[in-house]
């Protein structure tokens, strides 16, 4: 873990850990059964920004008051690094631009959602000329459409196999290219 923290994270521009991974990387326990899960997640995001990561997304975690929903947060902080010649002089560096999206929780576990999230976010950042909010919304909505279809397939097949829980990417290529509908909107959040 220390090798990641010392050597790899300072080189990363974007990371997309889930709740468990973010907790391990930062030492901050993001307790999904707690009302303070959001504050804990933002504390973890701040630590990751301070390690040099510019875009941090915690892809899913639960907040006690949001029983049937998961929260996903994205934070972008332009940060001076050794490979950048940014001098803020006497003024403070800009605060992070941060958003949260709430999505309905599906009663199934899936394989490959983290990899899909990272790939879609990277593609959308490029295709939107680095529009953070739009990229986050498109990524989250695409993934949720794919998960809903996969969940529907899983319930129809209902054979308990791991294969029935694998993401139906080929069948949902249109949702990968562009979400059918933007149902989940990114809400601006402010660091405490």
Task: Determine the number of helices (DSSP H) and then strands (DSSP E) in the chain.
Answer: 6, 5
Spatial separation of the C-alpha atoms in residues 114 and 112, rounded to whole Å: 6
Residue 82's pLDDT is 45
Residue 185's pLDDT is 96
115, 131, 149, 159: which one is catalytic?
Answer: 115
Spatial separation of the C-alpha atoms in residues 134 and 140, rounded to whole Å: 10
Residue 86's pLDDT is 52
Residue 89's pLDDT is 54
Fold of 2-189: 3.40.1190
The residues with which 171 forms a beta bridge, in sequence order, are none
Say which range, 2-6, 110-114, 186-190, has the weakest mean pLDDT. Answer: 2-6
Q: Coil, helix or strand for 36?
A: coil
Q: Which residues of 113-122 are buried (b: 16+ CB within 10 A; e: fewer)?
A: beebbbebbb
* Token pair listed for 94: 């800009």
Residue 75's pLDDT is 96
More confident residue, 127 or 7: 127
Residue 122's pLDDT is 95
Residue 11 has pLDDT above 80, yes or no: yes
Domain ranges, ordered by start, for the chain: 2-189
Write down the residue that tokens 């990417």 correspond to. 169
**For residue 98, which of 19, 189, 17 has the smallest C-alpha distance?**
189
Instruction: Judge contact between 74 and 136, C-beta under 8 A.
Output: yes
115 assigned to active site: yes
Once rounded to an integer, what is the mean pLDDT over residues 21-33? 91
More confident residue, 159 or 26: 26
pLDDT tens-digit profile of 80-137? 544 454 555 556 666 789 999 999 998 888 888 999 999 999 999 999 999 999 999 9
Residue 58's pLDDT is 96
pLDDT tens-digit profile of 46-68? 999 988 899 999 998 888 887 88
CA end-to-end span of the chain, whole Å? Answer: 27
Residue 35's pLDDT is 84
Residue 92's pLDDT is 60
Mean pLDDT across the chain: 87
* DSSP codes joined into one string, 125-189: HHHTTS-HHHHHHHHHHHHHHHHHHHHHHHHHH----SGGGB--TGGGHHHHHS-S---SPPEEE
């Amino acid at each position: 873990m220390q090798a990641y923290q010392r050597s790899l994270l300072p080189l990363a521009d974007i990371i997309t850990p889930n709740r468990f991974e973010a907790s391990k990387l930062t030492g901050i326990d993001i307790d999904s059964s707690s009302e303070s899960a959001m504050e804990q997640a933002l504390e973890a995001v701040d630590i990751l920004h301070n390690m040099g990561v510019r875009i941090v997304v915690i892809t899913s975690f639960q907040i006690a008051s949001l029983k049937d929903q998961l929260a996903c947060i994205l934070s972008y902080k332009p940060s001076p690094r050794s490979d950048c010649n940014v001098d803020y002089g006497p003024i403070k560096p800009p605060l992070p631009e941060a958003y949260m999206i709430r999505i309905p929780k599906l009663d199934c576990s899936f394989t490959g959602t983290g990899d899909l999230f990272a790939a879609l976010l990277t593609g959308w950042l490029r295709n939107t000329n680095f529009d953070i909010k739009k990229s986050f919304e498109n990524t989250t909505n695409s993934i949720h459409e794919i998960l809903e279809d996969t969940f529907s397939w899983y319930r129809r097949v209902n054979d308990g196999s791991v294969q029935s829980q694998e993401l139906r990417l080929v069948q949902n290529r249109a949702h990968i290219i562009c979400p059918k509908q933007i149902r989940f909107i990114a809400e601006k959040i402010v660091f405490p």
